[in-house]
């Protein structure tokens, strides 16, 4: 291994890692991926990789010795791992931020403390269950940690339903189910001296998994600007360097509620690869490597569809139109609801 050239270490080897690696290559930056799974799309594109448990100190030490900077493609890397690395090498965004955003309670408490509205919620450990307001139902109970794409979420129709349910250690929040008009997300990148963001993506979820994202979002300029302003406030308060995504609900009364923050590049931003002058991935690499950020400009209208599970087979043999871009992540194991690829159509 030649470590004379600047090398970026990336934790996680999924599709987000793959697109980060490809963007780094475009900027002549070497990449070294650390992943815990052999079925990792990023390993076919990076310069080096390690497949190991994220807590293996020997492997982590080797990784650190051979990189100049570390980042990650998903937020559920054990905090201890990121903290261990941070003592020896720069990690961007900073692990102290991840500690807040890995935990739904800390995340919502932080947002409310800076005056940003979220759904109404309670922390089950700290509340007398019988006293929970009836108005919160129908509700969702979510694990504090490690939940994504609807994992770790339980739907509860009413209070009777809720009181019957036994929650193992009460490390959950219960939140009101929002009867929203739309969901949008803002992908924003903060560098040392500049912050840039894309206009809102309009997102549609099915069974709590993103089905498609489109631009421009069908919302007025005022809401778009307000969502960008809220996202800017969050990224500044966190002193965050890199790309992150803020997911919003738009209520029937046209109010914005933050659902959650992804401290990384995001699925809804995939269409930036084909519809903009710069992708969310490239701007992330630029921000953490202290290169000049590019201000996003939309070149096309676009829609991106996720391809889950078996559906990938259909696309592999399908004729792709001139205005479509098909991405097959090349994952070996096809599993029900697993994100296997996506297709972006530009107009």
CA angle 152, 155, 159 (to 5 degrees): 125
- Shortest Å, Cβ 316 to ligand AMP: 28
| Residue 248 to residue 172: CA distance in whole angstroms | 21
Q: How far is the CB of 114 from ligand AMP (least distance, A)?
A: 20
By CB under 6 A, tell whether 167 contacts ligand AMP.
no
Nearer to ligand AMP, 258 or 293 (CB): 258
Q: Quick one: which of 27, 8, 21, 10 has its CA closest to 330?
A: 21
CB 340 within 8 Å of CB 308: yes
Applying CB under 6 A, the span of 1-9, 19-27, 171-179, 319-327 interacting with ligand AMP comes to: 171-179
> What is the smallest separation between the CB atom of 56 and ligand AMP, expressed in angstroms?
29
**Three-point CA angle 27, 30, 36, nearest 5°:** 125
Kindly tell me which residue out of 75, 107, 175, 202 binds ligand AMP, with binding defined by CB under 6 A. Answer: 175
- Binding string, residues 139-158; x marks residues near ligand AMP by CB under 6 A: -x------xx-x--------
Hey, which residues between 102 and 121 contact ligand AMP (CB under 6 A)?
Answer: 119
Dihedral angle over CA of 127, 208, 80, 12, nearest 10 = 180
Q: Residues 205, 292, 316, 335: which binds ligand AMP (CB under 6 A)? A: 205
Q: How far is the CB of 209 from ligand AMP (least distance, A)?
A: 7
User: Between residues 91 and 250, which has the closer beta carbon with respect to ligand AMP?
Assistant: 250
Among 48, 73, 75, 260, binds ligand AMP (CB under 6 A): 260
- Answer yes or no whether residue 62 interacts with ligand AMP by CB under 6 A: no
CA separation for the pair 206, 228 (Å, rounded): 25
Please report how close the Cβ of residue 231 comes to ligand AMP at its closest, in angstroms: 16
* Beta carbon nearer to ligand AMP, 91 or 140: 140
Supply the DSSP string of 186-206, one letter for each residue: EEEEE-SS-EEEPPPEEEEEE
56: left (phi > 0), else alpha (psi -120 to 50), else beta?
beta
User: Does 202 help bind ligand AMP (rule: CB under 6 A)?
Assistant: no
d(CA 88, CA 12): 19
**Binding to ligand AMP by residue 246, rule CB under 6 A?**
no
| Closest distance of CB 120 from ligand AMP, Å | 9
Residue 267 in the binding site for ligand AMP (CB under 6 A): no
Shortest approach of ligand AMP to residue 202 CB, angstroms? 12
Rounded to whole angstroms, the Cα distance separating 328 from 316 reads 8
Instruction: Give the nearest distance from C-beta 251 to ligand AMP in angstroms.
Output: 10
| φ, ψ for residue 74, nearest 5 deg | -150, 150
Tokens for 138? 């129908």
Q: Which stretch binds ligand AMP (CB under 6 A): 170-178, 186-194, 224-232, 234-242?
A: 170-178
Long-range contacts formed by 276-283: CB under 8 A, 24+ apart? 276/198, 279/19, 279/23, 280/187, 280/189, 280/198, 280/243, 281/16, 281/19, 281/20, 281/22, 281/23, 281/243, 282/23, 282/26, 282/27, 283/189, 283/196, 283/243
C-alpha to C-alpha distance for 328 and 69, rounded to whole angstroms: 28
Of 50 and 186, the one with the shorter C-beta distance to ligand AMP is: 186
Q: Least distance (Å) from ligand AMP to the CB of residue 258?
A: 11
Contacts of residue 126, Cβ cutoff 8 Å, sequence gap at least 6: none
Task: Note the residues at the interface with ligand AMP (CB under 6 A).
Answer: 119, 140, 147-148, 150, 175, 177-178, 183, 205, 208, 247, 259-260
């Amino acid at each position: 291994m030649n470590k004379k050239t600047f090398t970026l270490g990336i934790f996680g080897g999924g599709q987000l890692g793959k697109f980060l690696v490809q963007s780094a290559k475009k900027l002549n930056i070497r990449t070294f991926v650390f992943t815990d799974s052999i079925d990792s799309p990023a390993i076919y594109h990076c310069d080096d990789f390690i497949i190991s448990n994220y807590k293996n100190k020997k492997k982590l030490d080797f990784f650190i010795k051979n990189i100049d900077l570390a980042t990650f493609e998903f937020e559920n890397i054990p905090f201890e791992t990121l903290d261990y690395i941070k003592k020896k090498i720069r990690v961007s965004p900073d692990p102290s931020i991840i500690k807040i955003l890995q935990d739904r309670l800390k995340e919502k408490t932080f947002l409310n403390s800076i005056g940003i509205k979220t759904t109404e919620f309670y922390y089950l450990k700290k509340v007398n269950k019988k006293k929970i307001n009836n108005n919160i139902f129908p509700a969702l109970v979510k694990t504090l940690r490690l939940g994504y794409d609807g994992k770790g979420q339980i739907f509860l129709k009413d209070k009777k339903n809720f009181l019957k349910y036994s929650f193992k250690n009460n490390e959950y929040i219960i939140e009101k189910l929002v009867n929203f008009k739309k969901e949008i997300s803002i992908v924003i990148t903060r560098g040392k001296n500049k912050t840039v963001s894309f206009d809102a993506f309009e997102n549609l979820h099915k069974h709590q998994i993103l089905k498609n994202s489109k631009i421009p979002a069908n919302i007025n300029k005022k809401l778009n600007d307000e969502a960008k302003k809220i996202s800017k406030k969050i990224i500044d308060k966190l002193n965050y360097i890199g790309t992150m995504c803020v997911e919003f609900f738009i209520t029937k009364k046209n109010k914005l509620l933050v659902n959650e923050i992804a401290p990384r590049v995001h699925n809804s931003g995939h269409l930036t690869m084909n519809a903009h002058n710069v992708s969310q991935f490239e701007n992330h690499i630029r921000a953490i490597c202290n290169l000049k950020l590019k201000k996003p400009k939309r070149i096309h209208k676009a829609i991106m569809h996720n391809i889950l599970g078996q559906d990938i087979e259909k696309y592999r043999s399908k004729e792709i139109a001139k205005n479509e871009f098909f991405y097959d992540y090349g994952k070996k194991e096809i599993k029900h609801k697993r994100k296997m690829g996506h297709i972006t159509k530009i107009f």
